Chains A and B, each alone.
Chain A
Amino acid sequence: MKAGLSLIIAAVFIAAPFLTGGYELQVLMVALLYVTLTTGLNLVSGYAGQFSFAQGAFYGIGGYTTAIMGRDLGTGFWINLPAGIVVTGLFGLLLGIPALRLKGHFLAIVTIAFQTIVYLGLIQWSGFTGGQNGILVPPIGEVSLFGATLVDITGLTAHYWLTLVFAVVAVWIAWRLVHSRLGREWVAVKDDETLAGAVGLDTTRAKLTAFVASAAFAGAAGVLNAHVMRGVTPDDFTIWISCTIVAMMVVGGRGTFLGPIIGAILLTILPELTGSFAQYKLFLFGVLLVVIIIALPEGLVGRWRKIREARA
């Protein structure tokens, strides 16, 4: 059943560009960006158990890295991408430091503060960031090797395919991380940090790597998003984006692998289906989040897994 669901999701996303080139494809592309963002957040919050409401800030840091490098250095997407990942990874490390001492709500508050500082920084430091107006970013354009043009990533469909590749690679890397020794240490830290220390695990390393990995995912999505959307503004990276990503993860099931992916897709597509209700999107997410936390704290996929375990 889990494999079946994964196949259906994959089939829809692969078939979509052949069926539509318009708004629907745009929505699916946004869903894919959120898949990368939410899968990344799930590493630190779902597996390592460290609250973070800063994924939107890392998304923005990735976006502004490519925007500023393009503007000031004239570099393109393929150089800015690794740079954006490294820069957000470093900011992730920075946010990880308070997590070494703080837990639960206190840590959550620090991540909210971080998110807010980044947002205000993007507005206030206008000489560097373009202030409220942001920075224009060109499409990715032609990809050439030894003078021969391989592909031209300018239109929506081409950007969509690249976004799909990003999401697939992100999910694959997350799978590898979660099923590595490091992933097991993350879960150990989430379950019982004192015990993790007592059996000789370096909990500092476990937490910091989770923060860095999680931020790096957002950084990659941010670089891509800046080119896809042709620009960045501070309002693309508010606390609401962070809350949306948290909601996607929680609704799908934090600490499950498939949950946040499904949550990202559902919460991107659902508001679109409700038509004129879309403007109440955040309100709907809020209500949904409260309902899920009370009635289904383990999320959709988490609940499903419990039911199956109970049957076994």
Chain B
Amino acid sequence: MSALLEVTGVTKRFAGVTAVDTVDLSVGQGEIVGLIGPNGSGKSTMVNLVTGDLMADEGTIRFRGEDITAVPAWKRARLGMARSFQMIRLFRSLTVSDNLLLAKHAGMETTLGDSLLGRAAAREEEERLRVRARELLAWFELDAFADRPVGALSIGQQRMVELARGVIADPTLFVLDEPAAGLSPPNVDRLIVLIRRMRDEFGMAILLVEHDMRVVRDLCERLVVLDSGLKLAEGAPEAVTSDPRVVEAYIGTGWKRHARG
């Protein structure tokens, strides 16, 4: 059986820099895979290649058995991919609940025409979705904020909205780029519990980029390490984090800082 996500020999160059260099990466159904590496090692670039926000110069990307190398981001989302961003991205002039609804537009049964004509079926579906959004927000302890503009929330809460936005779309793969960045230690604990529940209750696979080693060790079943765009190591978390080459790569690049979390 082939993996859910299969990246083969993928390369991305920016003027002068090879940000990702012939990297292989796979994520199985319902698996949590960690993608780690020092600053500037190509993790976010890799994420963007997987989600289609960047197009690969070389290599192929397969998702659910389909070659998606040339498929644009919005279509990959419709195939069942969700993502969060290293720098939080939300629709700033909309409410929390509208932010979630938009992530579900593509998966709605009634058409845009039904919505424009104000058909009852379209209104009912939106109502059902609003209820669903509220349930999910309760899950992330945000239900009191459903009708507030997203800007009114704290950074930690905005991170949670990003997660809820991904979950509402029922993705088979959720790609998270440093979800713990900027969170307080108690919120990091909550985040770990929530991410595990997201996988256990909704069955989604998770590709997790994270500097916080506690999050990585607690959650990931497998780790992939990048260094200067190259894959340096891959395997079980304990084995990888004690690999001398990995420790070497991190020396002087803030490994200790990140390890302290």
- Contacting residue for B116 out of A182, A195, A201, A202, CB 8 A: A182
Closest to A209 in B: B112
Query: If the complex has contacts A197-B77, A203-B74, are A185 and B105 also in contact, measured as CB distance less than 8 A?
Result: yes
Is A200 in the interface zone, CB < 8 Å from B?
Answer: yes
The CA-CA distance from A168 to B82 in the complex, in Å, is: 41
Whether B93 and A181, one on each chain, are in contact in the complex, defined by CB atoms closer than 8 angstroms, is no
Interface contact B74-A197, CB-CB below 8 Å: yes
* A200 with B169, Cβ < 8 A, contacts A194-B89, A195-B89 known: yes
Q: What residues on A are CB-neighbors of B51 within 8 Å?
A: 198
Mask, A149-185, CB within 8 Å of B = 1, is: 0000000000000000000000000001100111011
A187: Cβ under 8 A from any B Cβ: yes
Q: Is B115 within 8 A of A195, CB to CB?
A: no
- A19 interfacial contact with B, CB 8 Å: no
Which residues does chain A contribute within 8 Å of B199, judged by CB atoms?
A: none
Q: Chain A residues near B214 (CB, 8 Å)?
A: none
Indicate if the CB atoms of B74 and A200 lie closer than 8 Å: yes
Distance in angstroms between the alpha carbons of A196 and B73 in the assembled complex: 10
From the candidates A181, A192, A199, name the one contacting B103 in the complex (CB within 8 A): A199
Q: Are B72 and A197 in contact (CB under 8 A)?
A: yes
B75 surroundings in chain A (CB, below 8 A): 200
Interface: B91 (CB within 8 A): yes
The distance from the CB of B67 to the nearest CB of chain A, in whole angstroms, is 19
Given A180-B116, A182-B112, A198 and B73 touching (CB < 8 A)? yes
A303 touches B (CB below 8 Å): no
Question: Is the beta-carbon distance between A181 and B74 smaller than 8 angstroms?
Answer: no
Q: Which among A182, A194, A198 has the highest number of chain B CB atoms within 10 Å?
A: A198
Which residues between 122 and 163 of chain B lie within 8 Å of chain A, taking CB atoms?
A: 122, 126, 149
B92: contacting residue among A182, A185, A191, CB under 8 A: A191
The reply to whether A198 and B118 contact each other, CB–CB distance below 8 Å, is no
> Which residues 194-227 in B have Cβ within 8 Å of A in the complex?
none
Task: Point out the residues of chain A lying under 8 angstroms from B78, CB to CB.
Answer: 200
How many residues on the B side are at the interface (Cβ–Cβ under 8 A)? 34
Highest count of chain B CB atoms <10 Å: which of A197, A199, A255: A199
- Min distance, Cβ A100 to any Cβ of chain B, angstroms: 12
A195 touches which of B90, B98, B108, B126 (Cβ 8 Å): B90
What's the nearest-Cβ distance from chain A to residue B55, in Å? 13
Q: Is B66's CB within 8 Å of the partner chain A?
A: no
Please name all residues of chain A whose beta carbon is closer than 8 Å to the beta carbon of B236 when the two chains form the complex: none
B5 at the interface (CB under 8 A from A): no
The answer to whether A180 touches B102, judged by C-beta atoms less than 8 angstroms apart, is no
**Is B73 a contact partner of A187 (Cβ separation < 8 A)?**
no
| A48 CB within 8 Å of chain B | no
Given known pairs A184-B102, A192-B89, the reply for A198 and B116 (CB within 8 Å) is no
In this complex, the member of A200, A203, A255 whose beta carbon has the largest number of chain B beta carbons within 10 angstroms is A200
CB distance from B192 to the nearest CB of A (A): 24
Taken together as a complex, chains A and B put the C-alpha atoms of A190 and B92 apart, in Å, by 10
A199–B165 touching, CB < 8 Å? yes
CB < 8 Å neighbour of B106 from A176, A192, A200: A200
Evaluate contact between B93 and A191: CB separation under 8 angstroms.
Answer: yes
Contact A188 B169 (CB under 8 A): no
List, in ascending order, chain A residues with CB within 8 A of B122's CB: 181
Instruction: Kindly list chain B residues whose C-beta atoms are within 8 Å of the C-beta of A188.
Output: 91, 94, 102
Cα–Cα distance between A182 and B113 once the two chains are bound (Å): 9
**Given the interface contacts A199-B165, A201-B102, does A187 sit within 8 Å of B115 by beta carbon?**
no
Contact A200 B89 (CB under 8 A): no
Q: Give the distance to chain B from A94, nearest Cβ to Cβ, in Å.
A: 22
The docked-state distance in angstroms from the alpha carbon of A197 to that of B126 is 21
- Asked if B261 is at the interface (CB within 8 A of a chain A CB), the reply is no
Q: Inside 8 A of B101's CB, which chain A residues have their CB?
A: 184
Closest 5 CB pairs of A and B: A200-B77, A200-B106, A181-B115, A199-B103, A191-B91
Beyond the given A197-B72, A199-B169, A201-B105, please list 20 additional residue pairs across the A-B interface where CB-CB is below 8 A. Answer: A176-B116, A180-B116, A180-B118, A181-B108, A184-B94, A184-B101, A187-B91, A191-B94, A192-B89, A192-B91, A195-B85, A196-B91, A197-B53, A198-B83, A199-B103, A200-B169, A201-B74, A201-B106, A255-B93, A309-B149
